[in-house]
Amino acid sequence: MLIFTFLLGCIIGSFYNVIIYRLPLNQSIAFPRSHCQNCKSTIPFYLNIPILSYVFLKSKCNYCGIKISVIYPLVEFISGILWAYSFSQYDIKQAAIFCIMTGILTCISFIDFKTMQIPISLLLLLLLFQLSLTIYNSSYFHSFIGALAGSGFLCITYLITLIIYKKHAMGFGDIIIIFILGMWMGPLLILITIFLSSFSMMIVYLILLFKNKSIYRGPLPFVPSLTGSAIFIKILTEYINI
């Protein structure tokens, strides 16, 4: 069962890659079939096997030889791990919820990482899904307090940074993501997530600044750190009471 759900997750991750690449370009995620971004050659099914194709092709296109981004197998592997974990840890309903939430967050995170933008369509999809869960579970108070705690804290931080440094520390999309994560996680866990993600971002920023002072003085995508921290905290709470 563990191997099956991992493989299924990798296949789903392959579809995430389509979304991550095509959505920012306003391209259809259904047509045409998977193809090389450089030479436009259609990729046959036997060369489109998650993770393995990347290894067998030595990270190069079989037709034009252009290098294939490591993001592709990374997304597939992350998806496979999350699917394997969720179906081994939760019942089918909770596992499905976990996979949908983390799947949408994964797509948003990698798009934010690549483009520094958050697609409105995925943001609305994530918000509607979480609102549906809140209504279905009748967890209005817990979700409301979590959303208010997370987004409220971030808004205050944003305003303080704007007043002192005259710079926009984050985008509106980041605040909406925090709002949604707050509904999903509750007030305590979302605050822990914000602190953990901010700390990890600071470490990454200092490392990049130390390596190349002339480049890494601009903003960094915040959603990948938020997503990673949220998933880590969610998994951690299955083993430690917080």
The verdict on residue 206 lying in a domain is yes
The verdict on residue 45 lying in a domain is yes
**Residue of 72, 105, 85 lying closest to 229 (CA atoms):** 105
d(CA 79, CA 225): 16
d(CA 118, CA 122): 8
The verdict on residue 106 lying in a domain is no
Domain that holds residue 6: 1-89
Percent of the chain scoring above 70 in pLDDT: 93
pLDDT on residue 205: 78
Q: Are residues 129 and 66 in the same domain?
A: no
d(CA 140, CA 142): 6
Mean pLDDT of 14-19: 96
**To which residue do tokens 């509106």 refer?**
172
Q: Are residues 190 and 230 in the same domain?
A: yes
Q: Are residues 126 and 237 in the same domain?
A: yes
pLDDT on residue 172: 81
pLDDT on residue 198: 87
Q: Are residues 76 and 165 in the same domain?
A: no
Q: Are residues 29 and 138 in the same domain?
A: no
Range of lowest pLDDT (13-27, 128-142, 198-212, 225-239)? 198-212
Q: Are residues 11 and 83 in the same domain?
A: yes
d(CA 173, CA 76): 25
Count: domains in the chain: 2
The answer to whether the CB of 184 falls within 8 A of the CB of 208 is no
Reported as a pLDDT band with limits 50, 70 and 90, residue 167 is low
Q: Are residues 74 and 179 in the same domain?
A: no
Q: Are residues 85 and 125 in the same domain?
A: no
Statement: the pTM of the whole predicted model exceeds 0.95: no
Instruction: Flag whether pLDDT at 216 surpasses 60.
Output: no
d(CA 137, CA 178): 20
Per-residue three-class SS string for 91-114: CHHHHHHHHHHHHHHHHHHHHHHH
Q: Are residues 83 and 127 in the same domain?
A: no
β-bridge mates for residue 67, sequence order: 60
- Choosing from 48, 72, 89, the residue where a domain stops is 89
β-bridge mates for residue 60, sequence order: 67
pLDDT on residue 86: 96
